[in-house]
Structure 1
Amino acid sequence: MTKQPVRIANCSGAMSKGTLLSSSKELRLKGDPGDHMYNQAKYGPVDFITGDYLAEINIANDAEAYRNGQHPGWVSTAWDGLSKSLDILNEKRIKVIINGGCLNPRGLAEKTHDLVKGKKLNLRVAYVEGDDLLPRVHELISKQQRLKHLDAENPQVTLAEGTKEFLNNPGSSNIISANAYLGMRAIKRGLEEGADIIICGRVADASPVMAAAAWWHGWPDSAYDELAGSLIAGHLIECSTYVTGANFAGFDKYDIKDLLNLGLPIAEIDSKGECVITKHEALPGIVTEDTVKCQLLYELQGNIYLNSDVKADITHVQVKEQSKNRVHVGGAKGYPPPPTTKLAIFYKGGFQCEATINATGYATAKKYELQEAQLRSKLQEWGLLEQFDVLDFQQIGLPAGNPRCQLESTTSLRIFAQAKDAATVGKLALAWMYNGMAHFAGMHSTLDMRQLRPIPFNAFYPAIVEQSELEESINLIDPSTQEVKKHVVGPPHKTEPLAARDSFETSNPVDLASFGPTINRPLGVIALARSGDKGANVNIGIFVHTDEEWDWLRSFMTRSKMQELMGTDWRDWYFVERVEMPLIKAVHFVVYGPLGRGVSSSRLLDSLGKGFAEFIRAVHVPIPKRFLRLESRI
């Protein structure tokens, strides 16, 4: 008999943190607090709660502090959620799978086990290990052709300068973390062995959801279509509120009050791997075809979504609203996984600093030109200019032509610098101060120039590693004896080599003149989009709503058109891939190169690539007037 769909609620999409200094104390700021886990358990029936706490940089940020005994290694917001929720999880028999173990999944599991035991709850705790390859990374660099870059198989992709420098000195201590993206196999085995709470380190974002669905429905490892569907379900809910109204290009059609205190999503996954994306009705938020399509298109590498357990072809995915806050997603096609998985390596990249100054009103461009010339000429005079790896001057905004207030007339110049040693970077502040009183007319800025102090930064190298090199295991803590029983799951039984990524223009373009007269308007008037980072690259998916708009979009949005819309941001060494997803009327692009050596070291103000889609939507293009019949669109 077919089992009912499994209800999997998400409780986190990232572990963002920062430090705020006040006159009396230091405040540590963290995102996605433990309240979300508790609320997902409280406000309706769910079978599982999953949480993704690890953006690529999170592990590297805390790696050295953890090794030096200055950090617990796990994510504090994950512990916050567990400590608040254990009683209700026990009462409702809800299972939890999270990657909040970060660098120390065992440590968080043992802390959780101790609290479970202290409360005398009937919950068995386990943890996944095998992702941390730092002890073996130098061996792997020597053994596996110096660890191929994730984009190495694409001869048209040019890597940013300096990307492979750390490989030239494999015995150095510059590498600070190396974590492989694990799949669902160890998690699923843990559920089969009776685990109720499974703490993971660096598993792939969707792996907890896939494991929950596979265990619930009893899928074998060869159920590729079903696994592909659950992979897409996991992708849709793993980014916290990104599918319930956050980071949503269509937000402007909603009242602000409807976008406050958004609830997190739920995926109901059936025995075929198809899902319904929804949320608890008691919690705020919106789940529509548009919010789901936006999240579906987020941080893709094209139309093939890779995971350690399955390759999912999402070319023919369908998204259809069932009722209010219930959207059905199906159509993913699954194939055996690749023999490799992603290995995220972070290494010491050098030092960087930045500062922002402001100019008001008249002749802004020349004011900034003067500031740049002052700094460059002084550094050149001191023989330091060539020692900078990056020295960037970025104008932010344009002053209003006839301003109504000073703020309308004010823009900013961001000065960003990187070099291999702190002394070089530190000279930028001296050069700035040397010309401090020779500034342009009306220059102003914050009086706190501490941003100009050199700080170390980490660079990112996305490699691929053979899954056969991993010792992926589930480790169950015995509730009575506290002994740990380890099960090694091994690599997938069947794999397929990776093929070249698809990239194509539309097969039967429509003559753009056939759509009639046009008017220059922002692309975003008729199209929604979402973008994000994929290592050194930026992805963007753009979609429309009607068949006629789709014929126009797929014919208009070519690779060369994307390059044109990027304007002066385009660099000749970038490369663009393009695919189509016709059933959701979407064109998807990957632009290779803009983020340099990744988020943690990018020179861009938008280092995560999240604003790229909104920039492209703001560019004016000739839109057929027939698409602008609604007054609100003109």
Structure 2
Amino acid sequence: MPSRNKRPIRIAGCSGAVTDRRAAMAQLAENHPNDPIDAIIGDWMSEFNMTTRAAMKSTNGGDAYEPTFIEAIAPALENIAKHRIKVAVNAGASDTKLLHQVVTGMVEKKSLDLKVAYISGDEVLPAIEKAQRSGQSKFENICTGELLDDWKFEPLSAQAYLGGLGIAAAFAKGADIVVCGRVSDASPVIGAAYWWHGWQRHQLNELANAFVAGHLIECSNYVTGGNFTGFKTLQTKGWVDIGYPIAEISNNGQVFITKSKNTGGEVSVHTCTSQLLYEIQGPWYYNSDVTAILDEMWFRQMGPDRVALHGVKGALPPSTTKVGLTAKGGYQAEVHFFPCGLDIPEKARMLEAQVRHLLKPHIHRFSRLEFTLNGSAAENPSNQNAATVDLRIFAQAPEENDLLPEKFLRPIIDPIMQSYPGATFHLDLRSGFPKPIFEYYVTLLPQADVEHRVHLWDGNSFVIPPPPESKTWSAQQPSQAMTTNARSDFGPTTRGPLGWIVHARSGDKGSNANVGFWVRTREEWDWLRSILSVETIKRLLTDEYKGKKIDRFELPNMFAVHFLLHDHLDRGVSCTSSYDYLGKNVAEYLRSKHVDLPNKFLNRGKL
């Protein structure tokens, strides 16, 4: 089919999380005359709200879509209609049909000429249960290797990650706004580009480039300077109001990344590299519509705040799609003390002994009990806060009754008068009361078992069939424990933090943590790939190494080395005991570790 449009489509990313700034959609739509866009996409889904919203729906605990989306779209609707901007978002969470009704009502109340469609099919618990009963699949957890039959929790919900062709079909039928549940984060961009250019499913290279573009802009400010290890350079470019990204995608799949005009932050090779490395888990990058092969990809700076994407190759999509299952996981509570000054480890040992003694009648009911010191006191501190650390007492239990105040909170604060010098707990004790947690299980389901359906504003609906061709990919991504032809001739060195010359970025994918490292020049990359082996990462992790498998692969055109730390994050965001519940500080921890740094690289300046 020939392209409907000769010019590239310009797609703006307005949200990367439920906590993103709600004014972005309205600003992008209002600025259309000065900075035209054809579509706005937004990501409101995460593994955290997949669990919490599913639980709300199963218990009739309130509206199970994402209400912050309503805050974002309400002030934007008039300009969306005026400028004929398409919108595709995944804010439906666990009740996309209800969100569709709400948005339709808002449009009608304002008497706007906007057609609203929605996508269903992501809720697949019946398909999972049917296949499990028949023995069709054992539903192995792709993070931990556990089998679903052995999972000790009862699923409340299962959501499949849908592709973007339902969105494309809705636009083709005349939809202006398409609300979705658990489509993949990049699917709204794939759908918008597929519709705009009239692509076909066999155009894998075009789809793969749109897929990568989607992941570059779906986290909003992450590609324009947010969460970027070069953040210190952004102060002069404006870091109080970092702008939102725009992807320009041509008919042949060529992608350029830029940002909204006259806003802070930057779009550079480094900010794009940061966002890309955070999303991937290997050189094979999967979506329901296409697999992107990334081993030869790279970015090129084309001008201020304008970066071109190169080297992405398209391959057949997998025959399966990722599914996230939600279950009630029990309850958790925590209390914080603040030891200060000298002898902090000994102070913590004293309090722990006292607390464990008082918890003895109840401790057997806990599924987890942890005492952790977080932070360190400065030597010869200049103020009291610098000498203070956080002692966290954290517990989880199967039943709410197991963590009632008389069984957890009171035994922890009761020894205050007999404890270490300066013993003080946080007076906000709300965290010491039990709150529900939810377990999350990641597995695969054949795409043929998913009914991907488009629902139009007039009540009509139709199914998007699974890909006509697909591939069964190996569960093990290509991995290389250490580089070939490692070099050691980099001259004199200075001992110091890796992050003086190395950028990094990390994040969560279920209980897995992915972390990528990159540098400025090819010579620096020769050094980086020579020192960063799997064994080096284990050594740098030190006490944080969990004994699990680590995958490694190189991206030579991006001067990057990527690692996947399997099952590193204690079950994922919805029930983790870690402070770093999104895995974003794995990279920052590793950048702080000391290695031998070549002086000639340091002479170029520290990051």
- Superposition TM-score tier, normalisation by shorter sequence: over 0.9
Relative to structure 2, which stretch is displaced further, 82-91 or 331-340?
Answer: 82-91
Please say if 1:606 is aligned against 2:580: yes
Residue-by-residue CA offset, 1:97-139 (whole Å, 9 max, x unaligned): 1111222222222222233334333322111011112355433
Could you say what secondary structure the match of 2:238 adopts? helix
Report the CA distance between 1:445 and its aligned residue: 2.5
Q: Which residue of 1 aligns with 2:563?
A: 589
Matches within 5 A, 1:328-367: 328-367=308-347
Q: CA deviation at 1:271?
A: 1.8
From 483, 487, 491, the counterpart of 1:511: 487
Alpha carbons of 1:281 and 1:596: their partners in 2 closer, same or farther (altered >3 Å)?
same
Aligned residue among 10, 13, 32 for 1:10:
13
Matched residue, 2:42: 51
8 Å contact kept, 1:509–1:551? no
**AA matched with 1:276:** F
Mapped to 1, the partners of 2:57 and 2:187 lie a distance apart of 25
**Cα distance in 2, alignment partners of residues 347 and 165 from structure 1:** 14
Does the alignment pair 1:633 with 2:578?
Answer: no
Q: SS where residue 457 of structure 1 aligns?
A: strand
CA deviation string 1:432-453 (max 9, x = no partner): 1342322111122322222111
Residues 244 and 265, structure 1, Cα contact 8 Å, conserved in 2: yes
CA distances 1:50-99 after superposition (whole Å, capped 9, x unpaired): 11100112132123433454422222222223221221112111111111
- Write the distance in 1 (CA, Å) between the matches of 2:578 and 2:151: 25
Q: Whole-Å Cα distance in 2 between the matches of residues 110 and 453 of structure 1?
A: 37
Please give the secondary structure, in 2, of the residue aligned with 1:245: coil
User: What amino acid does structure 1 have at the position aligned with 2:240?
Assistant: L
SS of corresponding position for 1:66: helix
Distance 2:447 2:403 in 1: 40
TM-score, length-scaled by structure 1: 0.90
Q: Are 1:540 and 1:589, in contact at CA under 8 Å, matched by a contact in 2?
A: yes
Q: Tell whether 2:114 aligns with 1:138.
A: no
Look up the SS of the partner of 2:514 in the other structure. strand
1:258 aligns with 2:238: yes
Q: TM-score, normalised by structure 2?
A: 0.94
Question: Does the Cα contact within 8 Å between 2:138 and 2:149 map onto a contact in 1?
Answer: no
Equivalent AA in structure 1 for residue 530 of structure 2: S
- Contact 2:481–2:551 (CA under 8 A) maintained in structure 1: no
Residues 88-107 of structure 1 mapped to structure 2, 5 A cutoff? 88-107=79-98
Deviation track 1:566-614 (CA, whole Å, cap 9, x = no partner) reads 1111122x11000111101000001112212211111111011011111
Letter in 2 for 1:277: I
Residues 1:624 and 2:601 are matched in the alignment: no
Asked if 1:393 is matched to 2:385, the reply is no
Residue 339 of structure 2 aligns to a residue whose secondary structure is strand
Q: Which runs of 5+ in 1 are unaligned?
A: 17-30, 479-483
What is the aligned partner in structure 2 of residue 124 from structure 1?
115
Which residue of structure 2 aligns with residue 223 of structure 1? 203
Q: Does 1:413 align with 2:404?
A: no
Give the Cα–Cα distance (whole angstroms) in 2 for the partners of residues 220 and 420 of structure 1.
50
User: What SS does structure 1 have at the residue aligned with 2:337?
Assistant: strand
**AA aligned opposite 2:10:** R
The CA deviation string for residues 150-206 of structure 1, in whole angstroms up to 9 with x for no partner, is: 427xxxx666xxx8577457xxxx422211111112111112211111111110000
Instruction: Tell me if the contact between 1:141 and 1:167 (Cα under 8 Å) persists in the aligned partners.
Output: no
CA shift in 2, pair 1:116/1:221, >3 Å: same
Alignment of 1:282-297 (within 5 A): 282-297=262-277
Aligned 8 A contact 2:10 2:248 in 1? yes
Q: Which residue of 2 aligns with 1:25?
A: none
Tell me, in whole angstroms, the C-alpha distance in 2 between the residues paired with 1:222 and 1:257: 42
Residue 32 of structure 1 pairs with residue 5 of structure 2: no
Unpaired segments of 5 or more residues in structure 2? Answer: none
In structure 2, relative to structure 1, the CA distance for the partners of 1:504 and 1:360 (3 Å cut) is same
User: Cα gap change, 1:496/1:137 in structure 2, threshold over 3 Å: closer, same or farther?
Assistant: closer
Match of 1:423 in 2: 401
- Of residues 22, 30, 53, the one that matches 1:42 is 30
- Tell me the amino acid that sits aligned with residue 598 of structure 1: G
Query: 8 Å contact 2:237–2:265 — kept in the other structure?
Result: no
Which is worse superposed, 138-147 or 190-199?
138-147
| Matched pairs, number | 598
**d(CA) in 1 for partners of 2:121 and 2:487?**
54
RMSD: 2.0
Counterpart of 2:565 in 1: which secondary structure?
strand
1:298-377 counterparts in 2 under 5 A?
298-377=278-357
1:115 aligned residue (106, 109, 113): 106
Tell me, yes or no, if the aligned pair for 1:42 and 1:88 is still in contact at 8 Å: yes
Secondary structure (helix, strand or coil) at the match of 2:296 reads coil
Deviations 1:255-285 (A, max 9, x none): 2771112221110011222211111113222
Q: Deviations over 1:345-404 (max 9, x none)?
A: 111111111111111111111111112222223334x2x434322111111111111111
- 2:478 aligns with 502
- Give the CA deviation at 1:141: 3.1
CA shift at 1:507, angstroms?
Answer: 4.4
> Residue type matched to 1:193 in 2?
K
Helix, strand or coil for the counterpart of 2:301? strand
Q: Please state how far the C-alpha of 1:624 moved relative to its aligned partner.
A: 1.0
Question: Which of these residues, 574, 579, 600, is aligned with residue 553 of structure 2?
Answer: 579
Distance 2:36 2:606 in 1: 41
The 3 A distance-change label for structure 1 pair 355 and 140 is farther
**In 2, Cα distance between equivalents of 1:466 and 1:188:** 22
Deviation at 1:147, TM superposition (A): 4.6
Change (3 A) 1:185 1:486: same
- 1:199-222 CA distances to partner (integer Å, 9 max, x unpaired)? 111100000100111111121111
- 1:503 Cα shift? 0.8
Percent of aligned pairs with the same residue? Answer: 37
- Is 1:552–2:527 an aligned residue pair? yes
When residues 612 and 265 of structure 1 are mapped into structure 2, their CA distance, relative to the original with a 3 A threshold, is same
Change (3 A) 1:434 1:258: same
| Deviation larger for 563-572 or 497-506 | 497-506
Within-5 A mapping of 1:441-460: 441-460=421-440
Decide whether aligned partners of structure 1 residues 440 and 145 sit closer, same or farther in structure 2, where only a CA change above 3 A counts. Answer: farther
3-state DSSP class of the match of 2:98? helix
- Structure 2 equivalent of residue 24 of structure 1: none
Partner of 2:69: 78
Match of residue 454 from structure 2 = 474
1:542 and 2:517 equivalent?
yes
Alignment counterpart, residue 140 of structure 2, candidates 149, 157, 180: 149
The aligned amino acid for 2:171 is L
Distance 1:542 1:272 in 2: 30
Label 1:507 to 1:127 Cα distance change in 2 as closer, same or farther (>3 A).
same
Supply the distance in 2 between the matched residues of 1:69 and 1:256 (Cα, whole angstroms).
49
Q: How much has 1:473 moved relative to structure 2? A: 0.6
Note closer, same or farther for the CA distance 1:435–1:507 as it changes in structure 2 (3 Å cut).
closer
Q: Secondary structure at the match of 2:596?
A: strand
CA contact (8 A) 2:138 2:148 kept: no
